[in-house]
Each structure stands twice: as structure tokens, then as C-alpha cells.
Amino acid sequence: MGRLAFREQVLRVREDAILTAVNRLLADKGFDLMTVDEVAAEVGIAKASLYKHFASKEALAAAALVRLLERTMAVVESPPVPAEATAFQRLRSVVRWALALQVAGEMPSLPSQNSSLRAELLSSKDYLDLLMRVSEKLGQWIVQAQADGDIDTRLPPEVVLYTIYARGCDPVPVFLKGTGQYSDEQIVEWVLSSCLDGLRSRPAA
């Protein structure tokens, strides 16, 4: 039993290393340009060994997204704001966290349309369950923020939700970082403001 537990621990450490490499390569190159050979080389294992953990490039990307959603759910469940924070402040804290990940090069970059990857994601119960949980929680905050007068009620909640999700693949933070003119903190705050302040309530025309 002890040997089995140790073997499982080794496999888990290797899988963590694989997913860390996948996440970095997806953030740096995107799904289409990332190769399984690159992942194996970065981890320092043979490609055949990698395939013992993940059957395909799509499975690698899906696993990286599941890990990202797990991290997102942890932030959503315990946002870095005071307990008395408003729904809008909670939304803002989650978007700030996501933008900081992107600027740090830790946000996977995935194609909006890829049939093989889409099929992999739709067949992943872990992915779908986590996506639903995150969406439901953010959706509750959006509805509450609209009731509080902090988000324009003329915007359907799903429009606000998709706008928030879109920040995860927003090219602006990476472009600004590439100029070398601004700090990560400045980039995060500017993109955060340009996104969320555009959702704020305003007098009807």
C-alpha cells in the first residue's frame, strides 16, 4: 500500500509539472501552435510517458482549463475583498485577479473555434461542472449588482457575464506589457476600469 501511495504521489507531481508546462505554453503560443513534443521537452519526459497521462493535445488543454476553473472557483468562493463588499466589488476583484494572471503570462490562450478541443471540453464532466458553478456564482453577483444600481439594468446578465469572461482572452494586457512602458499594476487597473466602468449604470438618454 505504501509503495502504491508513493507511486500515486509521483504521478500526481508529474501531472502537475505537465499541466504547468501546458499552461505556460498555451499562454505563450496558444493552442494551435503548442505541440505535445514541446510539452514533453519542457517537463523533461518522453512523449510516450506524457501520453500515459493525457491521450491527446486536446486532453492536455482541457486539463489545463479544468485547473484554471478550479483556481477561479477558489477565488470566487473567497474573493480578496472584505466580507461586507458589494456584489460589484466582488466581481471587480475576480476580474482583477484574472487580468493579473494574464499579464503574468499564466492565462491559457485558446482558439474561439476548434471542433476537436470543443468536443473534448464538452465531454469533460469536471470542466462543465466547474464552468456551471463559476457562471452561477458570477451570475448571482451580476443580478445583485444590477439590483444595487451598480451595473446597467439595460444589459442582459448574460451579456455582462460573457463580457467578464472575455477578459480572459483580451489581447490588450499582453500588448501593453509588450511595450515595456507600463507596470503590471497599471495595465491591470486600466483594463479593469475600461471593462467594468463601461458596465456601470448611467442616466437614460
**What is the rounded CA–CA span in Å between residue 107 and residue 109?**
6
**Domains in the chain, ordered, with CATH?**
57-199 (1.10.357.10)
Q: Is the pLDDT of residue 2 over 60?
A: no
pLDDT digits (tens, 9 = 90+) for 65-119: 999 999 999 999 988 889 899 999 999 999 999 999 989 888 887 776 778 888 8
Residue 191: Cβ within 10 Å count: 20
pLDDT at position 97 is 94
Q: Is the pLDDT of residue 53 over 50?
A: yes
Radius of gyration of the chain, Cα coordinates, nearest whole angstrom: 19
Backbone dihedral angles phi then psi of residue 156, each to the nearest 5 degrees:
-60, 140
Q: Is the pLDDT of residue 204 over 70?
A: no
Do 168 and 107 contact (CB within 8 A), yes or no? yes
pTM over 0.95: no
Three-state SS string over the chain comes to CHHHHHHHHHHHHHHHHHHHHHHHHHHHCCCCCCCHHHHHHHHCCCHHHHHCCCCCHHHHHHHHHHHHHHHHHHHHHCCCCCCCCCHHHHHHHHHHHHHHHHHCCCCCCCCCCCHHHHHHHHCCHHHHHHHHHHHHHHHHHHHHHHHCCCCCCCCCHHHHHHHHHHHHHCHHHHHHHHHCCCCHHHHHHHHHHHHHHHHCCCCCC
Confidence of residue 4 (pLDDT cuts 50, 70, 90): low
pLDDT digits (tens, 9 = 90+) for 11-44: 788 888 999 999 889 988 888 889 999 999 999 9
Residue 135: Cβ within 10 Å count: 16
Average pLDDT for the chain: 89
Can you read off the three cell numbers belonging to residue 133? 458553478
Can you read off the three cell numbers belonging to residue 71? 483556481
pLDDT digits (tens, 9 = 90+) for 160-175: 999 999 888 888 998 9
Confidence of residue 1 (pLDDT cuts 50, 70, 90): very low
- Specify the higher pLDDT residue, 168 or 140: 140
Q: CB-based burial of residue 83 (10 Å sphere; 0-12 exposed, 13-18 middle, 19+ buried)?
A: exposed
The set of residues, in sequence order, having a beta carbon less than 8 Å from that of 186 and lying 6+ positions away, is none
